[in-house]
Amino acid sequence: MAHQSEQEIFIETGKVALPGTLGMPDGAAAVVLFAHGSGSGRHSPRNQYVARALREAGIGTLLFDLLTPNEEAVDAANGALRFDIALLAGRLADATRWLMRQPETALMRLGYFGASTGAAAALVSAAQLGDKIGAIVSRGGRPDLAGDALANVKAPTLLIVGGNDEPVIEMNRAAMARLGSEVKRMHVVPRATHLFEEPGALEEVARLAADWFKTYFAGASKAAARK
């Protein structure tokens, strides 16, 4: 396995600073930012698992908290902030711009991995940032919450849904029809539920995500070289 560095960082966004972990394998040419779902954070075991798989595939990862501890307490009480997609997308966009300013990552290709409501935030942020985002993967996401921003998403987008997560399957199918991406795909993992806790389910998510990012980051490199 290639050597990996891990750095604890803070993302300044609005009036708050959000903690995160930037993991970079040697030779990485791309970074994937993770947008976690409701009631979760950068230590989510499922996102941590996928992040490790991406780093093993040579892709850097940035996992950070979308809410402060005080905001998480408020959200736990009333659930309001987890569905504030504009707030979450703005913070994800700020984290993306932070990476674009760092000497180590300024020239790297960037992608998003979003889970649950974090997938909507990823899509809204991608619509705002345009060709700065090279690829997107959603795990058990709520892309429908991205609303009208879906039409402005240009990055290749993979929607991964559990086969037993029936309401979310329909939400993803409807959202995919509205996506502006020329390259878009929905993959249903058989017998998996919303959290992909079944044997082999999360492994399949990680494999699909790594393949998607490697394919479309490579494609972006070739397109840039032709310009």
- HSE (side-chain half, CA atoms, 13 Å) at 157: 31
Q: How many domains does the chain have?
A: 1
pLDDT digits (tens, 9 = 90+) for 34-77: 998 766 667 778 889 999 999 999 999 999 998 888 888 887 77
Residue 227 pLDDT: 38
CA-to-CA dists, residue 83 to 75, 107, 149, angstroms: 9, 32, 15
Which helix H or strand E contains 48, and what residues bound it?
helix 45-56
Read off the pTM: 0.92
d(C-alpha 61, C-alpha 54), whole Å: 7
Domain span holding position 71:
4-226
Residue 181 burial class via C-beta count within 10 angstroms: exposed 0-12, middle 13-18, buried 19 and up: buried
CATH number for position 180: 3.40.50.1820
Task: Indicate if the pLDDT at residue 206 is higher than 50.
Answer: yes
Residue 15 burial class via C-beta count within 10 angstroms: exposed 0-12, middle 13-18, buried 19 and up: exposed
